[in-house]
Chains A and B, each alone.
Chain A
Amino acid sequence: MTTTEPATRRDWATIPARIAERAALHPGRVCLREKRFGIWQDVTWQQYWANCRLAGYALAALGIGPGDRVAIHSENRPEWLYTDVGAVAIRAITVGLYSTNPAPEIAYLLRDSGAAVLVAEDQEQVDKALEVEAQCPDLRWIVYLEPRGVRAYDHPKLLSWTEFLERGRDHAAAHPELLDRAAAAATPDDVVTLMYTSGTTGPPKGAMLTVRNVDFATRTLIVDGGLYDPPPTDSDVVLSYLPLCHVVERAATEWCNAATGSTVHFAESIDTVQANLREVQPTLFFAVPRIWEKIYAGVEVKMNAASPLKRAVYGFGMRLAARIGDELVRAEGSHTARTRLLYALGYPLLFRSLRDRIGLRKVRVASSGAAPISPDVLRFFFGIGVVISEAYGMTENAAVATANRRGRVKLGTVGQPHSGTELRLDQRTNEILTRHPGNFAGYWRNPGKTAEVLDEDGWLHTGDVGAWVDGSHLKIVDRIKDVIITSGGKNVAPSELENSLKTSPYIKEAVVVGDRRAYLTVLIGIEPDTVGDWAQRARIPYTTYRDLTEKEQVLELVQAVIKQANAKVARVEQIRKFRVIPKELDHDDGELTATQKVKRATLHERFADLVEDMYANRKDRPGGDLVEVHTWTS
């Protein structure tokens, strides 16, 4: 092992080095909190670093060395970070697996990455690993965090977290200098993690991020305030709830925490996010559009059930919010005297309590990314004083590309390029290209795919079609592969239409169909919570999800939403027909990716009967057009 440059002259820092520094400066400060047995349990910086070191030694004890892969299959929890940081501390590579990944995908990911150690959260994940263990020749150890149910298993590769740390302790006693040596030997080109892209098309590919990538992203997004402006401090509070294997959550939870000392709170699960939000009241909040939409829909549903006085106040507050929202949009997100006055009027009446209930009362920076968000949802949050800035980035460029800055927010755009980021549009295809030190090192063991996205000049081909707005802000049109060309030759970006449909609290999924067809149609997935609630209040009896989707009134509800969305677009872009998907889409069934994105190809294939029903002018499946709706024809 050779050191490329002396440690003293480094202008970069690894995440473990940043954590070690914080632990030395503020050993007693709270760094992480995890809710266990109903109480938020504190983890101090000292404990955090000690655990990370121990995990590093333990991995070394299991034979992990520089460049070896360690897979983590767990929900967000401190042990996730201990393992990740520990692995990086001994110059190994972390591979995050989504907890929703089914066994066949686990087999693929373990085989592809060649992970030697798997840290599995509980019995569910251990079972998946054991099921496919025979297909993964490189897998030597499975470390489980929750012993419940697994304790009785008798398998030579199984190891409990406690035993794992015990080995680490022994190893640390035998080789105390191991971590320091690894830290000294670290180079900016060390790969620290493989982030498997969600793979809406084809199998997932492992994007290699290096120390340099992570360092650049940390500096640009966090320390220099690219994403969080003004930059976070140690009084900031973060809720960690999106999968840590995703680049955004890793940045928001681990990198931001290590670089600025913000306090991370781990949500109990994705289902308890709203309750946890209320408790934690984070100051920095990143969410994917799905979460923002869900919060918005939740407010609507709860207000429908509120008393008349409360509804009246809410109605009044929303009128204020609409004005504030519009004015903020015009003023690019900075307050004017008028918005301040209106906000001061609505604050004691509604905004304070509403923001408190949804857990956003203390949010100072809110951002959205990973998918396009509907402007109407943004307007709502603007109105109640939560200015969301949309940001753009992807795993392959360590999430560094563009973001809307404070006071320069343009609705419908993803903002301006970060400092140190070169960004241009391909002259022929308008594809967005980025170049900066955060561009990934390539796909793991896949030079062919790497060459497709990373050219010789170092430009990353994102696969997104973009357009400039006012010469400064970038607007994402759609994925190149998703753009629909109708048989009339018209190019349509489906995501815009789909998002305007998804603004409605009743619509969960919308997939526009129409490639090489005469007109556009849409497959709709309804939101069972809100539609169910609506049906109950409209006294429409129903049994299952499927039954709900086949109710005439529900179809009329969907039809009204489509008509509304149609009103905003040109005639050729209007949707003519729709069918309702008779089941809830699920990751396990291969319809959604691990990040809950719709896999279009699979959907087209699986629900080909619905699509055919529309284009063959039949009415065999529940759905309708703009004039009438129909349920089953007997």
Chain B
Amino acid sequence: MSVTTEGARRRGAGRGRPLLYTSYAADQAIWNTPAKRVWTLALLVAVLALPFYLDRDLTSLLTTVFVYAIGGIGLNLVTGYAGQVSLGHAFFLGLGAYTAAVFGGEATDDVVGLGLDMAIWLPLAGLVPALVGFAVAPLAARVRGLYLAILTLGLVFIGLHIFNEADSITGGAGVGRAPAEPVLFGVDLTTRFELFGTRVNRDMVYYILCLVVLVVLAVAARNLTRSKWGRAFAAVRDRDVAAEVMGVSLLRTKTLAFTISSFYAGIAGALLSVVVGRISPNTWDLFLSIDFLAVVLIGGVATITGSIMGAAFVVLLPRLVDELSAYLPFISGHTGEGFLSVFQLQTMIFGALIVLFLVLEPRGLYGLWVRVRNYWKAWPFSY
């Protein structure tokens, strides 16, 4: 069909009729209605403008949210979409962080470092874990459920041991090393500079950088899940035997899920190390894996948007509890004394929330959002 037809359609009888699909592409588009397009754009603009109005520590906290979201999306691909419970996510994050540190960090007497540009070390930080994931996947693909959880758990401990022992790469236990240098295309992102009369500091640059990476990776993940491969993931998750009967290769699908998930984890690990500053091998332990599981479970299993919501929740909740503790008498915060410390309270709230979400809203925050949306979408009817 010619271009003129398309123009005529828009002018004639296409506008203001979001349900009138004249092509499959429009029907399947991620932003298939004008309302979705407008709101997504508005949200993006708001998020972009945010660091100019926030304190540095909050900006940095939100940057952590983006990084967690990237890792969360990675875990959601393998656990939420493909249904392969993985406790080994922390290992891949660590792998990504150290790959970045080796290629992008400065060499010192104790640790190796090549000091390459970010344009090189960031992709490598994804690719190296992806390769390791690819190598481990055939093992993982043979087992499922609890056995897979145990297998990936093993990965974390092996990883911890290696990180602790490989002094020249990680700096060794209790010492750690500096992360990769954020030098992008020769521009050092740590220096301050002026933009439109506003001083832009390091945190803001990191913020924008991580946001861009998140948006790119999130859209890529969303597209992956809508593709043939994404549907294969879901088929394997829902019934692996049935999927195999239908011609979906289990080994290939699970391997792909692991590989891509590890890629996302690697990128997240590398960015996290840059945001945090100094990294010690003990960072990449089981608790970090559980943090990401919480991102997936609270955000919503098998949704990309949910992973971002979950990341925001998991990262911001401790800060929120911290702020609130000043008003709660039974909490021993920085000043007073009570029978609970802030950290204990955080842990308890976390545990309670995971239980509540599993029982009440298995689709997580995203499920809540969908409920709210559908309530208004059907207005004034209920269905």
| Residues of A participating in the B interface, judged by any CB pair closer than 8 Å | 26, 28-30, 33, 38-42, 44, 234-235, 237, 263, 265, 278-281, 302-303, 305-307, 310, 313-314, 317, 350, 353-354, 357, 362
Stretch at the interface among B13-21, B209-217, B244-252: B13-21
With A28-B5, A30-B9, A42-B5 as known contacts, state yes or no: A317 contacts B22, CB within 8 Å.
no
Contact B380 A234 (CB under 8 A): no
Shortest 6 CB-CB contacts between residues of A and residues of B: A28-B4, A279-B19, A306-B382, A263-B13, A302-B381, A29-B8
Chain A contacts of B21 at CB under 8 A?
Answer: 38-40, 279
Closest to B1 in A: A42
With A30-B8, A30-B9, A237-B13 as known contacts, state yes or no: A40 contacts B380, CB within 8 Å.
no
Cα-based distance from A186 to B380 in the complex (angstroms): 54
Give the tally of cross-chain contacts (CB within 8 A): 83
With A40-B22, A235-B12, A279-B19 as known contacts, state yes or no: A306 contacts B380, CB within 8 Å.
yes
Cα-based distance from A302 to B378 in the complex (angstroms): 11
Within 8 Å of chain A (Cβ to Cβ): is B53? Answer: no
Closest to A41 in B: B22
Chain A contacts of B16 at CB under 8 A?
Answer: 281, 362
For chain B, residues 360 to 383, give those with C-beta under 8 angstroms from any C-beta of chain A: 375, 378-383
Within 8 Å of chain A (Cβ to Cβ): is B198? Answer: no
Number of interface residues of B (CB under 8 A): 25
Cα-based distance from A292 to B11 in the complex (angstroms): 29
Chain B contacts of A28 at CB under 8 A?
Answer: 2, 4-5, 8
Cα-based distance from A306 to B375 in the complex (angstroms): 10
Contact A357 B381 (CB under 8 A): yes
Closest to A298 in B: B381
The listed residue with most B CB atoms (<10 A of its CB), out of A307, A350, A362, is A307
Contact A305 B1 (CB under 8 A): no
Cα-based distance from A278 to B18 in the complex (angstroms): 10
Q: B interface, by DSSP: helix, strand, loop or mixed?
A: loop
Cα-based distance from A357 to B382 in the complex (angstroms): 11
Within 8 Å of chain A (Cβ to Cβ): is B335? Answer: no
Closest to A311 in B: B380
Cα-based distance from A582 to B103 in the complex (angstroms): 84
Cα-based distance from A37 to B382 in the complex (angstroms): 28
The listed residue with most B CB atoms (<10 A of its CB), out of A30, A281, A302, A357, is A30
Cα-based distance from A280 to B17 in the complex (angstroms): 7
Within 8 Å of chain A (Cβ to Cβ): is B108? Answer: no
Chain B contacts of A314 at CB under 8 A?
Answer: 380
Cα-based distance from A306 to B381 in the complex (angstroms): 6
Chain B contacts of A279 at CB under 8 A?
Answer: 17, 19-21
Closest to A44 in B: B5
With A39-B22, A44-B5 as known contacts, state yes or no: A310 contacts B12, CB within 8 Å.
no
Cα-based distance from A40 to B379 in the complex (angstroms): 26
A-B contact pairs, 26 of them (CB 8 A): A28-B2, A28-B8, A29-B5, A30-B8, A30-B9, A30-B12, A33-B22, A38-B27, A39-B22, A39-B24, A39-B27, A42-B1, A42-B9, A235-B12, A235-B13, A265-B20, A279-B19, A281-B20, A302-B383, A306-B380, A306-B382, A310-B381, A313-B380, A350-B380, A353-B379, A362-B16
Contact B379 A310 (CB under 8 A): yes
Within 8 Å of chain A (Cβ to Cβ): is B23? Answer: yes
Chain A contacts of B375 at CB under 8 A?
Answer: 307
A317 CB contact (under 8 Å) in B9, B27, B378, B380: B380
> In the complex, how many angstroms separate the beta carbon of B7 from the nearest chain A beta carbon?
8
Closest to A236 in B: B13
> In the complex, how many angstroms separate the beta carbon of A311 from the nearest chain B beta carbon?
9
Closest to A238 in B: B13
Closest to B379 in A: A353
B22 CB contact (under 8 Å) in A29, A42, A305, A354: A42
> In the complex, how many angstroms separate the beta carbon of A624 from the nearest chain B beta carbon?
34
A303 CB contact (under 8 Å) in B5, B9, B380: B380
Contact A305 B383 (CB under 8 A): yes
Closest to B25 in A: A39
Chain B contacts of A281 at CB under 8 A?
Answer: 16-17, 20
Cα-based distance from A103 to B169 in the complex (angstroms): 86
Chain A contacts of B4 at CB under 8 A?
Answer: 28
Chain B contacts of A41 at CB under 8 A?
Answer: 22
Chain A contacts of B17 at CB under 8 A?
Answer: 237, 279-281, 362
Chain B contacts of A354 at CB under 8 A?
Answer: 380
Contact B380 A310 (CB under 8 A): yes
Chain A contacts of B382 at CB under 8 A?
Answer: 302, 305-307, 310
Closest to B377 in A: A353
Closest to B21 in A: A39
Contact A303 B22 (CB under 8 A): no
Chain A contacts of B1 at CB under 8 A?
Answer: 42
Cα-based distance from A360 to B95 in the complex (angstroms): 58
Given pairs A279-B20, A279-B21, A281-B16, 14 additional interface contacts (CB within 8 A): A29-B5, A29-B12, A30-B5, A30-B8, A33-B22, A39-B27, A40-B22, A235-B13, A302-B382, A305-B381, A353-B379, A354-B380, A357-B378, A362-B16
Chain A contacts of B2 at CB under 8 A?
Answer: 28
Chain B contacts of A306 at CB under 8 A?
Answer: 380-382
> In the complex, how many angstroms separate the beta carbon of A113 from the nearest chain B beta carbon?
35
> In the complex, how many angstroms separate the beta carbon of A230 from the nearest chain B beta carbon?
18
> In the complex, how many angstroms separate the beta carbon of A117 from the nearest chain B beta carbon?
32
Contact A263 B381 (CB under 8 A): no
Cα-based distance from A342 to B29 in the complex (angstroms): 38
> In the complex, how many angstroms separate the beta carbon of B136 from the nearest chain A beta carbon?
41
